[in-house]
């Protein structure tokens, strides 16, 4: 009779550990795959215009998510959300091709965020940008 109680207790302990491990694993995977929640912050990000090289990009944290400011070949600065509209991956700026690539499923965007190819259903979100006395302000 004592062996039965001990077995039952060990079974409950192992079941509890297994359940806790499963919950921790699912939470971790969901946290990695889900885009960051917009925390509702209304902050603006400022930095020197010289931080963006010719035909280059600067990625930054903006309102709890990732944004990017690029300098197009014309010299114009464009600010966009860096979150792919397909599954929320972070896009990469391909300086040599002058476009964005989503590494998850191969979606491509123009420097203005318009979808060129792949699975993304809509363009990258444009962000407000101003340049005053060599200081770039996003937001």
Residue 6 covered by a domain: yes
How many domains does one find in the chain? 2
Query: What is the percent of the chain with per-residue pLDDT over 90, rounded to a whole number?
Result: 34
Residue 120: give the domain boundaries.
Answer: 45-138
At 21 the three-state DSSP class reads helix
Q: Do 21 and 50 sit in the same domain of this protein?
A: no
d(CA 11, CA 19): 12
Residue 40 lies in a domain: no
Question: Across the chain, what does the average pLDDT equal?
Answer: 85
Does residue 85 sit within a domain? yes
The per-residue pLDDT for 102 is 92
* pLDDT tens per residue across span 60-103: 998 888 999 999 888 889 999 999 998 889 999 998 899 999 98
- Is 56 inside a domain boundary? yes
Residues 30 and 85 in one domain: no
Q: Which two tokens stand for residue 87?
A: 């599954």
Edge-to-edge strand ranges of the sheet holding 129-132? 45-48, 135-138, 129-132
**Same domain, yes or no, for 121 and 102?**
yes
CB-based contact 129:118 (threshold 8 Å): no
CA 46 to chain centre: 19
14/9 Cα distance (integer angstroms): 9
What CATH number did the domain enclosing 102 receive? 2.102.10.10
Give CA–CA dist 85/76, Å, rounded. 24
pLDDT of res. 10: 85
pTM for the structure as a whole:
0.66
Q: Are 67 and 133 members of one domain?
A: yes
Q: Please check whether residues 56 and 30 belong to one and the same domain.
A: no
Same domain membership, residue 120 and residue 83: yes
If asked whether residues 12 and 49 sit together in one domain, one would say: no
β 129-132/115-117 pair status: unpaired
Across the range 17-29, mean pLDDT stands at: 85
Structural domain includes residue 66? yes
Q: Strand order in 65-71's β-sheet?
A: 57-62, 65-71, 77-81
Q: How confident is the model at residue 39 (pLDDT cuts 50, 70, 90)?
A: very low
In a domain, 39, yes or no: no
To which H or E segment does residue 79 belong?
strand 77-81
């Amino acid at each position: 009779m004592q062996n039965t109680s001990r077995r039952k207790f060990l079974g409950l302990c192992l079941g509890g550990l297994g359940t806790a491990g499963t919950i921790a694993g699912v939470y971790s995977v969901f946290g990695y795959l889900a885009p960051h929640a917009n925390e509702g912050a209304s902050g603006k990000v400022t930095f020197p215009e010289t931080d963006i090289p010719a035909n280059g990009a600067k990625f930054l944290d903006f309102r709890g998510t990732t944004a990017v400011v690029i300098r197009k070949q014309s010299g114009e600065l464009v600010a966009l959300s860096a979150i792919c509209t397909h599954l929320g991956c972070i896009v990469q700026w391909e300086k040599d091709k002058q476009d964005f690539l989503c590494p998850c499923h191969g979606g491509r965007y123009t420097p203005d965020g318009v979808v060129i190819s792949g699975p993304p259903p809509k363009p990258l979100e444009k962000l407000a940008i101003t340049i005053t006395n060599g200081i770039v302000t996003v937001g």
